[in-house]
Amino acid sequence: MKKWCVASLIVVCGVAGAQATGAKKDLIAKILTLQQGAIEQTAQVLAERPAVQMMQQAGVALQTRVAPEKREAVAKDIQADLKKYADEVGPLVRQQAVKLAPSTVGVLLDQRFTEEELTQLIAILESPVNRKYQQMGGELQKALADKLVTETKAMVEPKVKALEQAMVKHLGLPPASAASKPEAAAKAAKK
């Protein structure tokens, strides 16, 4: 009789554990759905990172290697290529991120949160106050960035110019003022 009770208890506990795991998986799936926008945003940033880096490099090359009269046309061509890249790669990477989220983010949520904590997290994510705060994200960042730029411009601008001059010197390029002269531009274009 004791063996039967112990065996029954083990089966009942096993079934309860399986139900909790199923319920926990449902909670995790709901969190992933609620966070899909953030997951897609992370993927978009990763997809755009190479294009942003190339755009920065192209900006330098435009100023140093392209004749002034051709810069606008070349810049438009580069921007068109960058947009095409973003339009093609962005959706693919976002879709893959959503697909991978359960096996990455979902696993971490399962490992580190209890079912009760996941329920609380969902309540926070679904909270109207949280949604209102999240919607303000861009506005909050812009307000801070605008004030930060205004407050630090006088301190940062000379350092940016000094950095630019140091980089030009290291690269052996003519100073920016010399590059604007027609003779210096012609020499730079021939190199």
Q: From residue 92, give the alpha-carbon distance in Å to each of 97, 99, 129, 153, 169.
A: 9, 11, 32, 39, 41
CA dist 169 and 166 (Å) reads 5
Token pair recorded at residue 36:
């899909």
What is the value of pTM for the model shown? 0.64
pLDDT at position 46 is: 92
Give the pLDDT score at 142. 87
The two tokens of residue 151 are 């407050």
What is the structure's pLDDT at 14? 37
Tokens of 175: 């100073």
pLDDT tens-place values along the chain, 191 residues long: 333 333 333 333 333 343 347 999 999 999 999 999 999 999 999 999 998 988 888 888 888 888 889 889 988 999 999 999 999 999 999 999 999 999 999 999 999 999 999 999 999 999 999 999 988 988 988 898 899 989 999 998 999 888 888 877 877 777 765 444 445 444 544 44
